[in-house]
Amino acid sequence: MNDETSGKASLRRELLAVRALLTSQSIEETAAALASSALELPELADARTVAAYVSVGREPGTRALIDTLRERGVRVLLPVLLPDNDLDWAVYEGPEHLARAGRGLREPDGVRLGPGAVLGADAVLLPGLAVDGRGMRLGRGGGSYDRVLARLAAAGARPALVVLLYGNEVVARVPEEPHDHPVDAVVTPAGARRFT
């Protein structure tokens, strides 16, 4: 394990410990604030297709945002975790069409569109644990979104990459490895911030 990998593991533990202290009420309040702040980003407000995800546990809530996007006529793609940790995609048809899946996830029950469906997105919402001032994102460590980002880069696709976080998760520095990609913006309850 190199220093960057070790630094990522340590930072993940710290941030997950803080998330573990969050109450259900604070998570719900944050979700509403995140949806409002995210919709102020033109990259999301003007998008026709957004690849998103359904938050679980103490992740910053995405349900209010994906429901609002869908109500506005945006095609929302949600991931379906494949056995090799890659992601397939399906269209979000509403909360009644979310099925329980492994690892506590909620996935769309519709037609699978294939891993390449993300290439048609105008914006991609990425889960994460932290981001720094350079836009470097720290994920959970499973590698699923690293594959998505590599797929986008290989195809020359350039959707807006946006991570949703709690305010304390914008940090001074995220350890990075060669495969890491910066995001274009972070949304916290306090508002959105773009990276250059």
139 annotated to bind ligand? yes
> According to the model, what pLDDT value does residue 102 have?
82
Euclidean distance between the first and the last CA atom of the chain, given in angstroms as a whole number: 31
Residues lower than pLDDT 50 in the chain: 1-2
Report helix angle 63-71 to 24-38, nearest 10.
Answer: 40
> According to the model, what pLDDT value does residue 142 have?
83
Whether 188 contacts 165, CB under 8 Å? yes
96 annotated to bind ligand? no
Whether the predicted model's global pTM rises above the 0.85 cut: yes
> According to the model, what pLDDT value does residue 20 have?
94
**Residue ranges in 20-159 assigned as alpha helix (H):** 24-38, 42-45, 63-71, 144-155
82 annotated to bind ligand? no
37 annotated to bind ligand? no
36 annotated to bind ligand? no
> According to the model, what pLDDT value does residue 181 have?
87
102: which 2 tokens? 């492994």
- Domain total in the chain: 1
Q: What is the CATH number of the domain that holds 156?
A: 3.40.50.10420
CA-to-CA dists, residue 18 to 59, 94, 182, angstroms: 11, 31, 24
Whether 31 contacts 59, CB under 8 Å? no
> According to the model, what pLDDT value does residue 104 have?
81
54 annotated to bind ligand? yes
> According to the model, what pLDDT value does residue 5 have?
60
> According to the model, what pLDDT value does residue 149 have?
93
142 annotated to bind ligand? yes
165 annotated to bind ligand? no
> According to the model, what pLDDT value does residue 101 have?
87
118 annotated to bind ligand? no
112 annotated to bind ligand? no
Q: Which residues form the domain of 178? A: 3-194
> According to the model, what pLDDT value does residue 132 have?
95
Whether 163 contacts 151, CB under 8 Å? no
